[in-house]
Amino acid sequence: MNWLLNSLYVANVVVSLDNEQELKQFISEARNVMKDDNNINNLTALLAACPSTNSIHATSPARISTWSPLYMDVMGNDVTLPCRAVGNPRPAIYWLDGDNELIAENEPRYKVLPDGDLFIYKLQWSDMGGYTCIASNTRSRDMTTTFLYPVLGIAP
């Protein structure tokens, strides 16, 4: 069974049911959840714990939902490059720098935040380039690149 929300793929669901009554109850509960477009998490919870099923497994591909193709900021500022992802299981997010090297956890000026954004401390000219965000789960992998362009500040 595939679930679509506003024509976007949400989840692939495998449902094991003992009888037609359980199927009707499951469909009724799922329709109630889907009445609200913001209930993707509730749908996942329903699919994971629906009492009318013996076994449910809901997965959805990793998809980057928030990013910026170009980011410009003044040198010396701290910057945050956005990268938010959705999927089930929740995607792991990691970043590659302009040389396609993995940004390590112990980098002194770079930090991948818990929400997936990349924090860069005190932007420098040498930071200019493409930074690639990769979101990955057991279902799929998605990636996008943000070009970071440091600019000179203008004195008032």
pLDDT at position 154 is: 74
The domains found in the chain, sorted by start residue, are 13-58 (no CATH), 61-151 (2.60.40.10)
Look at residue 134 and give its three-state secondary structure: strand
pLDDT tens column, 56-79:
457 889 999 998 999 999 999 999
Buried b (16+ CB within 10 A) or exposed e, 14-35: ebebeeeebeeebeebbeebbe
Give 104's pLDDT tier (boundaries 50, 70, 90).
Answer: confident
pTM score, whole prediction: 0.63
Separation between Cα atoms, residue 91 and residue 152, nearest integer Å: 36
Per-residue pLDDT tens over the stretch 18-30: 556 656 666 666 6
Q: Between 30 and 15, where is the model more confident?
A: 30
Asked if residues 12 and 2 have their Cβ atoms less than 8 Å apart, the reply is: yes
